[in-house]
Amino acid sequence: MKSALSAIALVTMVAGAPSVFAQSAADADKFVADAEAEQREFSVPKAQVDWINETYITDDTNGIAALFATRESEMRVRQAKDAARFDKVPGLSFDTRRKIDVLRGGITLPAPTTPGSAAELAKVGTGIKGLYGAGRGTLDGKPISGSDIEAAMGEVRDPAKLKEMWVSWHDNVGAPMRGDYARMTEIANAGARELGFSDVGAMWRSQYDMPADEFAKLTDTLWQEVKPLYDDLHCYTRGKLNEKYGDAVQPKSGPIRADLLGNMWAQEWGNIYDVVAPQGAGDIGYDVGELLKARGDDPLKMVKIGEGFYSSLGFAPLPASFWNRSQFLKPADREVVCHASAWDVDNKDDLRIKMCIKVNSDDFVTIHHELGHNYYQRAYNKQPYLYLNGANDGFHEAIGDFVALSITPDYLVSIGLLDKAKVPTADKDLGLLLRQAMDKIAFLPFGLLVDKWRWGVFNGQIPATGYEKGWNDLRLRYQGIVPPVPRDETRFDPGAKFHVPAAVPYTRYFLARILQFQFYQAACKQAGWTGPLHRCSFYGDKAVGAKLNAMLEMGASKPWPDALQAFTGSREISGKAMLAYFAPLRTWLKAQNKGKQCGW
Ligand code: ASP
Ligand code: SER
Ligand code: ZN
């Protein structure tokens, strides 16, 4: 509490400070050092306040979180404007140039300097994030929380109940925040323009070591590379859903009904693997969630297993504070933000995860995902403050997922979860690949479209009067899915996805899906693996761990192609590794789809 108050005083005190001198490279060095120190000092109490707010949502904690967000916004916008004044100063060092670009473009939602704007933006932003956290849908007419409804969407197979959950969640959580979202967009766009960007989306795209337009093109190129695989999976899955539910629920042609895919947002489909599993011979015969349940593993044990993987690569164990301060379970007596996240509260070793863990396979993978963030944070903690970040945000999202690709049947045997006799034989490879594809391939168009929607909202191509249509058009075009009931502009379905109210850019997850296979292919090569790629586990391989650490400890200090090269030898992000991993499945899907009219 003491440090929190002193930080408020600090920021208030310097808010009206005189403009910086912007004449020489030495002035720039000093400006950057001061900005960095100011951010570092503020970041700790800010994280503490956010932690308390997200693990105990009340009007009071919303108020304090909004106050801190206001102060942070004022500080960072002031720094961004000052940074712009150094843009043309000759002779800047590599690091000062790089940090000035971060200071200028690295604010997710910038407020304009108009008095009151930062406070309004912070209040609206904190409010809708809290609304999401406290959101409820219904099942059988009874209220059901966000984390429960997510799990139920994976388990329930009755189309009427699925529809009830889908509609209630989207209506209750999304629609009420529509007006606030429009206001948030308006304020942040004005802020971006003040900083010299055309809109917030252009600012987001400016953080990838290349011109913003080129980055947008790169994402489209990557999508074209992997899209054929998605089209095959869509076609096959639609056929299986039609067999299960019949023409009235899921027709043989056209888009797929969004609530039938085992996930509230139809973003990952692995939960309906049982519906699409190859008949008899190809089936894998186990589900990780069931194995954990059968052994009686609880959420804490699941986190210990995750830590064990990283330890096997040579990473030091998590600190005692991680175990004392993390939120693993949904508290019974208060509202929290259940959506999984990883935290580094003191920029050193106060690492935590915040989840509402359920014993199922989704959360087992998510634990590895979140821990990937924590080990990345720890690996780069010796870097200067403005480099305490991933090589780009896609790298940060990819590390834990890449590790989780090593959860193979043989790995499960080595940690005593699967009987050696139950390891699927080589003839079950297609089942294993299909199970992964349902999560990894299915996600790609969703990973792309969330920000296609936001980029469109920010640049005005999707007007506030057409939010819902813009969203559903993209869902149809990229994912080939439709909502179970007609939607109109009284709704706001994008608001029913965490990252929209929480203002977390989403292209990072699209990049991460691609990158994680590049990392995995490289690690398996380093490990000397010669079998089918998807059977490779680098569990216990300290040489892979050391090489991984070399990339992680770079943080954001170098352009991302340097980091990619450090671990994989390549400077290009590419879908080739992902295509190589799934190549046998592709051939098989083509055979299954033979004679069918694919597409929508
Ligand atoms: N932070 C993760 C995601 O949003 C959590 C999850 O997978 O649910 O990427
Ligand atoms: N964690 C991200 C999400 O939940 C991507 O999987 O949307
Ligand atoms: Zn993440």
In three-state form (DSSP H/G/I as H, E/B as E, the rest C), the secondary structure along 505-565 is CCHHHHHHHHHHHHHHHHHHHHCCCCCCHHHCCCCCCHHHHHHHHHHHCCCCCCCHHHHHH
Residue nearest to atom 6 of ligand 1 (CA): 340
User: How many C-beta atoms surround the C-beta of residue 559 within 10 A?
Assistant: 16
374 lines ligand 1 (CB under 6 A): no
C-beta separation of 77 from 107 below 8 A: yes
State the closest ligand 1 atom to the C-alpha of 504, by its place in the atom list counted from 1: 4
Residue 19, pLDDT score:
60
Amino acid code (one letter) for 96:
T
Helix axes 393-404, 507-526, angle to 10 degrees: 50
Per-residue pLDDT tens for 129-183?
A: 999 999 999 999 999 999 999 999 999 999 999 999 999 999 999 999 999 999 9
Helix, coil or strand: residue 481: strand
Half-sphere exposure for 35 (CA within 13 Å, toward CB) = 27
Atom index in ligand 1 nearest the CA of residue 366 equals: 7
Q: Considering only CA atoms, which residue is closest to atom 3 of ligand 1?
A: 340
Give 440 Cα–ligand 2 centroid separation in angstroms.
11
Task: Give 20's DSSP letter.
Answer: P
Tens-place pLDDT, residues 238-270 = 999 999 999 999 999 999 999 999 999 999 999
**400-426 tens-digit pLDDT:** 999 999 999 999 999 999 999 999 999
Q: Hey, whose CA ends up nearest to atom 7 of ligand 1?
A: 366
Whose C-alpha lies nearest to ligand 1, atom 4?
340
| Closest ligand 1 atom, residue 397 Cα | 9
Residue in 330, 339, 440, 499 to alter for ligand 1 test, most ligand atoms within 8 A of Cβ? 339
What per-residue confidence (pLDDT) applies to 18? 46
Contact 400, 372 (CB under 8 A): yes
Atom from ligand 1 closest to the CA of residue 370:
1
Q: Is 369 in the pocket of ligand 1 (CB under 6 A)?
A: yes
Question: From ligand 1's centre to the CA of 367, what distance in Å?
Answer: 9
- Residue 382 CA to residue 481 CA, distance in Å, equals 45
- Helix runs in 313-392, H state only: 320-325, 361-379
- Each residue's pLDDT tens digit, 349-387: 999 999 999 999 999 999 999 999 999 999 999 999 999
d(CA 522, CA 431): 24
> What predicted TM-score, i.e. pTM, was given to this entire model?
0.96
Model confidence over 301-331: pLDDT tens digits? 999 999 999 999 999 999 999 999 999 999 9
The residue count for the chain: 600
366 lines ligand 1 (CB under 6 A): yes
- Which secondary structure element, helix H or strand E, spans residue 51, and what is its range? helix 25-54
Per residue in 443-470, pLDDT tens?
999 999 999 999 999 999 999 999 999 9
Ligand lying nearest the CA atom of residue 440: 2
User: How far does the centroid of ligand 1 lie from the alpha carbon of residue 186, in Å?
Assistant: 27
Q: Which residue has the higher pLDDT, 9 or 339?
A: 339
Active site members: 339-340, 369-370, 373, 397, 499, 509
CA–CA separation, 554 and 380 (whole Å): 6
| pLDDT on residue 2 | 34
Residue in 365, 366, 402 to alter for ligand 1 test, most ligand atoms within 8 A of Cβ: 366
pLDDT of 272 reads 97
**What SS3 state is found at 2?**
helix
Nearest ligand 1 atom to alpha carbon 339: 8
What residues does the ion ligand 3 have nearby, CB within 5 Å? 397
- Cα separation, 121 vs 107, whole angstroms: 13
Which ligand gives the minimal distance to the CA of 268?
2
Q: Whose CA is nearest to atom 2 of ligand 1?
A: 340
What atom of ligand 1 comes closest to residue 340's alpha carbon? 5
pLDDT at 26: 96
Confidence of residue 20 (pLDDT cuts 50, 70, 90): confident
CA distance 324 to 334: 19
Q: Is the pLDDT of residue 281 over 90?
A: no
Domain boundaries, the chain: 290-428+536-561
Q: What is the Å distance from ligand 1's center to 404 Cα? A: 14
3-class secondary structure per residue, 379-421: HCCCCCHHHCCCCCHHHHHHHHHHHHCCCCHHHHHHCCCCCHH
Please name the residue whose Cα sits nearest to atom 8 of ligand 1. Answer: 340
**Residue 341: nearest ligand to its CA?**
1
The answer to whether the CB of 340 is under 6 A from ligand 1 is yes
- Ligand 1: distance of its center to the CA of 598 in Å? 31
CB 475 within 8 A of CB 482: yes
CA of 366 to the centre of ligand 1 (A): 7
- 255 by DSSP, 3-state: which? coil
What distance in Å separates the CA atoms of residue 177 and residue 114, rounded to the nearest whole number? Answer: 24
Band of pLDDT at residue 118, cut at 50, 70 and 90: very high
Q: Is 581 exposed, middle or buried (0-12, 13-18, 19+ CB in 10 A)?
A: buried
Provide the percentage of residues in the chain whose pLDDT is more than 70. 96
Q: Are 448 and 478 in contact (CB under 8 A)?
A: yes
Which ligand is nearest to the Cα of residue 374, counting in written order? 3
CA of 580 to the centre of ligand 3 (A): 25
d(CA 433, CA 582): 7
Ligand 1 atom at minimal distance to the Cα of residue 509: 9
Q: How far is the CA of 196 from the centre of ligand 1 (A)?
A: 31
What is the residue-averaged pLDDT of the chain?
95
Say yes or no: CB of residue 118 within 6 Å of ligand 1: no
Give CA–CA dist 340/497, Å, rounded.
13
Query: Which of 150, 369, 399, 440 to mutate for ligand 1's pocket (most ligand atoms within 8 Å of CB)?
Result: 369
